[in-house]
A = this chain, B = another copy of it.
Amino acid sequence: MYKKIDSGILQELEHIVGKKNLITERENMEDYGHDEIALSHMRNYPEVVLRPSTSKEISEILKLANKHLIPVVARGGGTGLAGGCVPVFGGIVISLEKMNKFLELDEENLMATMEAGVTLMKFHQTLQEKNLFFPPHPGEESATIGGIISTNAGGARAVKYGTVRNFVRSIEVVLPQGDIVKLGGKLLKDSSGYNLLHLMIGSEGTLGIVTKGTFSIMPIPKASLTLIIPFDDVSGALKSVPHILCSGILPLSIEFVSSELIIMTKEFLKKSWPVQVGNVYLLIILEGEDMEEVEKASMKVSEVCLSHKAIDVFVAESRDKQDEILEIRSKIYEALKSKTVEAIDIVLPRNQIEPHLKRLSEIEKEADMWLPTFGHAADGNLHTHISKFNLKGEYIEDWEKKYEDVRRAIHDDAIERGGKISGEHGIGFAKKEYLEIFTDKSLLQLMKGIKRTFDPNNILNPGKIFDLTQEKY
């Protein structure tokens, strides 16, 4: 059904972006064929990589792609974990790397506008110089803002501030047929017709290519503390969480992680970790307008946790110490990467984490497969890593045979508990079978109908979220 790109089309594309922004040599395309998921079948070469500099160029590319029926995939930082930017049908990859200008810092409206290729790191740094702050913090700072909008990225701070969705005020999008449109505005309220902005957020590049974004920002909170609270077991740790939140304290983040994973990560990073006791930690970040306020909150949190069998409470106050703890937490994924295949991303009602962990431990034993798990204790988003090792730490030669059953069992339990397949990574290519299985049929039909409305030729990121290439379109 899709056409191959021939030399005539290539010439037209070169005319749009210029020779130096068009890549066709396989050896230079390696980086554009995959994201961070470790599964070997989740990669594919595009026929051509384009690096446009303007929305106008992207619009022209999409018009051409519609004319010739060529699939197009937009690519940001390539830090996804669901294969969302993999060009599974070949065709064109549009890399947004050259559209990386920070356009405006509007302090009166507390909003920042930038091109889609700006990285989170650049966004954070630019704000920091002005004592400003973008609350959502998806772990990987080389992600681009186009990517975090397209996946509705979350991160550890969602418990206080919500996901990226809550901060996106406006985007520029190139629609599949080439129209360049603006959704939203520098506005905090909007009830003017169907909210296409919120539909576009999290649609993983299947309904349009995000080319600019305007976000709400805030002054940096003036004081913060990081607490490490060790427990003997995960049960006490998790039971503390609703009590913390009901006490009126809303931490910036509440994470749980085993001491096993922390030890592994600190050794991987050659760093030190201040706490030697306990099997499970709660890591809690508190922030506020002054140290007194934060210390009061810290006392309350400590009280709650100690009454739920916390062994102790360690408080990190200096910026350096807090950053070191945060670094170890955020690099667990990297430390695990060589041993694991996929990071699961299920999200549950908060009070279902504990029973789900019990089920996980059963699955782990039944399959004799190590399933290291950590996650966001307050927002219910859990990252279980499917590994290639058994519980004794030995490599499983035939891990691929067990992989699908283990993966399915984890998702089955999450859905049964009122959860969903993806909290923050998206469906992409990796989880689309599960979306079909676990979604009400009439809702799936509506999603597919929306896709048809936006993209009648199914040229934009086809085969992601669901695969319509086999259906009547």
Q: Which positions in A face B, CB cutoff 8 Å?
A: 106-110, 151-154, 158-159, 162-163, 165-166, 175, 179, 181-183, 185-196, 198-199, 201-203, 207, 218-219, 221-222, 242, 245-250, 289-290, 293, 296-297, 345, 347-351, 376, 378-381, 418-427, 435, 439-440, 442-444, 446-447, 449-454, 465-466
Contacts and interface: CB of A to CB of B under 8 A. Distances in A.
Contacts of A166: 162, 166
B349 A186 contact: yes
Number of copies: 2
Given A198-B198, A453-B446, A193 B465 contact: yes
Contacts of A191: 151-154, 163, 202, 345, 422-427
A162 B188 contact: yes
A420 B107 contact: no
A181 B440 contact: yes
A196 B446 contact: yes
A35 to B, nearest CB: 15
A310 B165 CA distance: 36
A-side interface mostly: loop
A88 to B, nearest CB: 18
B202 A194 contact: yes
A357 B381 CA distance: 45
A381 B347 CA distance: 35
A351 B109 contact: yes
Contacts of A203: 194-195
A107 B465 contact: no
**Which 4 pairs of residues, A with B, have the shortest CB-CB distance?**
A449-B453, A198-B198, A186-B349, A189-B423
Given A187-B349, A189-B379, A351-B109, A447 B202 contact: no
11 contacts: A158-B188, A159-B188, A188-B350, A188-B378, A189-B380, A189-B381, A190-B422, A191-B424, A192-B427, A194-B451, A222-B248
Given A179-B442, A202-B195, A418 B453 contact: no
A287 to B, nearest CB: 11
A183 B442 CA distance: 11
A189 B380 CA distance: 8
A443 B197 CA distance: 11
B423 A187 contact: yes
B192 A242 contact: no
B193 A435 contact: yes
Given A192-B421, A447-B193, A199 B198 contact: yes
Given A187-B348, A196-B447, A449-B453, 7 more contacts: A110-B242, A189-B376, A190-B420, A194-B447, A195-B201, A219-B246, A222-B248
A351 B187 CA distance: 11
A160 to B, nearest CB: 10
A31 B348 CA distance: 43
A449 B249 CA distance: 44
A165 B153 CA distance: 17
Given A108-B350, A165-B198, A192 B422 contact: yes
A356 to B, nearest CB: 13
Given A246-B107, A246-B110, A198 B196 contact: no
Contacts of A108: 242, 350-351
Nearest to A250: B218
Contacts of A446: 175, 196, 453-454
A238 to B, nearest CB: 11
